Structure 1
Amino acid sequence: MWLTHRFSLTSLVAFFLSGVLIASNTQASDTLLRPALMSDKVTQSLLLDITSAGDRLVAVGERGHIIFRDPDQQWQQAQVPVIAHLTAVDFPTPQLGFAVGHEGIILRSEDAGESWELVHHELVVGPRRAQEKIPDAEAALEEAEEVGDLMDIEMLEMELDDLYFLAEADEVPPLLDIHFISSEQGFALGGYNLFLVTEDGGETWTSRKEALPNPEELHNNAIARDATGRLFIAGERGSIYRSEDQGLSWEDISPGYQGSLFSIFATRDGLLVTTGLRGNIFISRDGGETWMQPDNQAEQTLNGGLLMEDGQLLIIGQNGEYLIGNSDRLVHQTLPGRFSLQAVASQQGEIFAVGRGGVHRLPLLLPAASR
């Protein structure tokens, strides 16, 4: 899951030095090592991702907040050793989980999300490379403004904001997503082609950015795996990469879209779904060989989704927008309060979305789209 439009990439991108092995014993900042504060309003705070840990749900968000919920129980706050914002969470087993966030941190839990330990932190920011890219980005934005292309203007403004931030940054931007294919092997990714791999359960992480067909070092925003074991990464400028050998090699299967993609997920019935700016959704039925766009009325950035128990797709986004339907047509709905939604998960027939305002239970009787 990737943070979107826009807690701005200006607070979300990361840079990594190729080929460097990063262990978990680097000296962290005093701020990073402050534990997250316990709060009775944590379920109303900004939450950025949610996932299942067996029957339990676990969500992560700002200021190091992690909460968990068992079926038919209240949400509880976990003990977390850092106060940094957390952007994504994944559980390869019901007990073993990992979360990533600002400062390049990676956390690990071995008790289904009730307590966490810091296993990785401190990447290296690359302000000089950002400074080199600013003139070309400014020229491209000026040209887009002259032509009046609103999509290009929005995309280039976001890119330029990122570069300005990186050029002057004195802090480490975050990791953006994490996914494990076993209890030992996992992938963490982020801005400027950041791509880390662990093969020892998160003890050490190695850069594998050279394995991705990403010479422009575009942001890697989200990662997913389908039922066949293939891996997919979605990111900036419509980039999508596929691996059929557990992440050793990757190929470009981008759909030809130039806007950023912020989520990607696979369904149990064989669909591959990716979402992005201005309501754009791309769906593949053949593992990314071909792509189609379903009919929908969304205008906001779309951040993620899932396949519900009744076989319908649910896709969530900014300003409370969510879509329900099938791969051909999705019907537009709006959450009361219009809270922006970042991620969604299901638990025993209930659907929980997280974002601004914390946890939101979406209506159980969701309107069915035309089948």
Structure 2
Amino acid sequence: MAMMTPNLQATDCSNLIPSLTSLFPPRLLHRPLSLPHSRFISKASLHHPSSPPSSSSSPPSLVNRRQIISQTASLSLSLATLSSLPLPAKSEEVLSEWERVYLPIDPGVVLLDIAFVPDDLNHGFLLGTRQTILETKDGGNTWTQRSIPSAEDEDFNYRFNSISFKGKEGWIVGKPAILLYTSDAGESWERIPLSAQLPGDMVYIKATGEKSAEMVTDEGAIYVTSNRGYNWRAAVQETVSATLNRTVSSGISGASYYTGTFNTVNRSPDGRYVAVSSRGNFYLTWEPGQPFWQPHNRAIARRIQNMGWRADGGLWLLVRGGGLFLSKGTGISEDFEEVPVQSRGFGILDVGYRSEEEAWAAGGSGVLLRTTNGGKNWTRDKAADNIAANLYSVK
């Protein structure tokens, strides 16, 4: 799941289910350049036009010696000239900004989220299934298994879905319902009790300030706390299922087939949310102060895979089977245009923006794409081409 402040989600490639968190803070990989193989130069030199013609008045042995001397001089000159000239750049020699990091986890573990402590960017945590929590204190180069006693009191095999830090305060949510809180940058974690009546499973949490956080369930419930999680206030008045049942006649295509859960949910820096329905047939948005989620028809024929926010405040949208769309303008919109990408026929699963101009996209079979002009053009990074796995998330 760098940092980009995007920071990218991978498991062992033998199980074909890692995510981009196997690729961590960007580092340059230094590769020495080499001269072209000398045999190609010698072939050109053997047909050099300066080779003297044979003379009928000269002995055959003398003619051959002269030709050999001439050809040898031409070859030496060619080598000397080439060694003094800069070599042309080749696309396969472009240095990648990613390197793979191997993790001490079981083959069946799926990685789900990653976060670093803002006050110490070398200190971070990586979450996954099977109660997996990994910790690094060297910027992601090495990771160790982390045990949290308060999360091991019961015979549950927790799936840790989301982690977020604000200063030294951090939050973790998982399934079955579990909430962990730290005030010392993760040196110790406290378990916060939760009501068993929560609608849905907690899939996302965001640290928003001192002792404050927002928590989202897969049924669209949003809860806010400002006192370290001891009390939570509902930010929306009903679940998404209830909203759609009330508005099923509003013209939202596919609402009658809605199963009541989100496939993905993403939050913008200013607190707006966009979520994709579990079937991918429409999407929903929510802004602070709104009592309900707002459903939107998709303008694309294919079902939606994932959606999120660009650094300029606009939306990006991925469709199943491959395809990247960007909304026109900023803010919430239903008007999208497709952007051509070189995904080699594999679907794209996530996009992460580092700035308004630079972003990365990740997808099936090790697809890594980069843009440096706000998403208008994308180029492929070959760093993960040899990893037989899907890259699920980039942050």
TM-score normalised by length of structure 1: 0.60
Q: Any idea what SS the aligned residue of 2:288 has?
A: coil
1:56 and 1:112 mapped to 2: Cα distance? Answer: 12
Question: Closer, same or farther in 2 for the Cα pair 1:204/1:338, shift >3 Å?
Answer: farther
Query: Is the CA contact (8 Å cut-off) linking 1:177 and 1:188 kept in structure 2?
Result: yes
Residue 75 of structure 1 aligns to which amino acid in structure 2? W
Residue 262 of structure 2 aligns to which amino acid in structure 1? L
1:203 and 1:91 mapped to 2: Cα distance? Answer: 13
Q: What does residue 256 of structure 1 align with? A: 239
Q: What does residue 174 of structure 1 align with? A: 159
Q: Which runs of structure 2 are paired with 1:86-235 in the superposition (5 Å)?
A: 86-93=111-118, 94-120=121-147, 123=152, 124-125=154-155, 172-183=157-168, 185-210=169-194, 215-216=197-198, 218-225=200-207, 231-235=213-217
1:227 and 1:359 mapped to 2: Cα distance? Answer: 36
Is 1:58 matched with 2:14? no
Is 1:345 matched with 2:345? no
1:293 and 1:302 mapped to 2: Cα distance? Answer: 16
Question: Closer, same or farther in 2 for the Cα pair 1:293/1:332, shift >3 Å?
Answer: farther
1:209 and 1:338 mapped to 2: Cα distance? Answer: 46
Question: Closer, same or farther in 2 for the Cα pair 1:304/1:256, shift >3 Å?
Answer: same
Task: Spell out, residue by residue over 1:131-178, the C-alpha distance to the aligned partner (whole angstroms, 9 max, x if none).
Answer: xxxxxxxxxxxxxxxxxxxxxxxxxxxxxxxxxxxxxxxxx3521111
Residue 207 of structure 1 aligns to which amino acid in structure 2? R
In the TM superposition, residue 341 of structure 1 has moved relative to its aligned partner by: 4.2
Q: Which runs of structure 2 are paired with 1:33-72 in the superposition (5 Å)?
A: 49=1, 52-53=2-3, 57-63=6-12, 66-70=22-26
Of 101, 107, 121, 1:78 maps to 101
| Superposed CA RMSD | 3.5
Q: Any idea what SS the aligned residue of 1:62 has?
A: coil
Residue 175 of structure 1 aligns to which amino acid in structure 2? F
Residue 104 of structure 1 aligns to which amino acid in structure 2? Q
Query: Is the CA contact (8 Å cut-off) linking 2:348 and 2:367 kept in structure 1?
Result: no
Q: Any idea what SS the aligned residue of 1:114 has?
A: coil
Q: What does residue 310 of structure 2 align with? A: 307
Query: Is the CA contact (8 Å cut-off) linking 1:243 and 1:249 kept in structure 2?
Result: yes
* Runs of 5+ unmatched residues, structure 2: 13-17, 29-95, 242-259, 378-395
2:370 and 2:114 mapped to 1: Cα distance? Answer: 21
Q: Percent identity?
A: 18
Q: Any idea what SS the aligned residue of 2:219 has?
A: helix
Q: What does residue 38 of structure 1 align with? A: none
Q: What does residue 268 of structure 2 align with? A: 267
Question: Closer, same or farther in 2 for the Cα pair 1:198/1:227, shift >3 Å?
Answer: closer
In the TM superposition, residue 57 of structure 1 has moved relative to its aligned partner by: 4.8
Query: Is the CA contact (8 Å cut-off) linking 1:226 and 1:267 kept in structure 2?
Result: no
In the TM superposition, residue 292 of structure 1 has moved relative to its aligned partner by: 2.5
Paired residue total: 268
Query: Is the CA contact (8 Å cut-off) linking 1:262 and 1:276 kept in structure 2?
Result: yes
In the TM superposition, residue 302 of structure 1 has moved relative to its aligned partner by: 4.2
In the TM superposition, residue 345 of structure 1 has moved relative to its aligned partner by: 1.3
TM-score normalised by length of structure 2: 0.57
Question: Closer, same or farther in 2 for the Cα pair 1:104/1:270, shift >3 Å?
Answer: closer
Residue 273 of structure 1 aligns to which amino acid in structure 2? V
Query: Is the CA contact (8 Å cut-off) linking 1:280 and 1:302 kept in structure 2?
Result: no
Residue 219 of structure 1 aligns to which amino acid in structure 2? D
**Structure of higher RCO (CA pairs closer than 8 Å, 6+ residues apart):** 1
Of 222, 239, 263, 1:240 maps to 222
Bigger radius of gyration among the two = 2
Q: Any idea what SS the aligned residue of 1:344 has?
A: strand
Q: Any idea what SS the aligned residue of 1:204 has?
A: coil
Task: Spell out, residue by residue over 1:78-108, the C-alpha distance to the aligned partner (whole angstroms, 9 max, x if none).
Answer: 2533243321111232322111012212112
Q: What does residue 28 of structure 1 align with? A: none
Query: Is the CA contact (8 Å cut-off) linking 2:359 and 2:375 kept in structure 1?
Result: no
1:342 and 1:119 mapped to 2: Cα distance? Answer: 28
Of 343, 354, 364, 1:356 maps to 364
In the TM superposition, residue 71 of structure 1 has moved relative to its aligned partner by: 7.3
1:332 and 1:230 mapped to 2: Cα distance? Answer: 37
Q: What does residue 132 of structure 1 align with? A: none
Query: Is the CA contact (8 Å cut-off) linking 1:227 and 1:268 kept in structure 2?
Result: no
Question: Closer, same or farther in 2 for the Cα pair 1:353/1:367, shift >3 Å?
Answer: closer
In the TM superposition, residue 314 of structure 1 has moved relative to its aligned partner by: 1.7
In the TM superposition, residue 362 of structure 1 has moved relative to its aligned partner by: 5.5
Query: Is the CA contact (8 Å cut-off) linking 1:273 and 1:284 kept in structure 2?
Result: yes
Task: Spell out, residue by residue over 1:267-296, the C-alpha distance to the aligned partner (whole angstroms, 9 max, x if none).
Answer: 345533333422443323325545433453
Q: What does residue 45 of structure 2 align with? A: none
Q: Any idea what SS the aligned residue of 1:200 has?
A: coil
Q: What does residue 9 of structure 1 align with? A: none
2:125 and 2:173 mapped to 1: Cα distance? Answer: 13
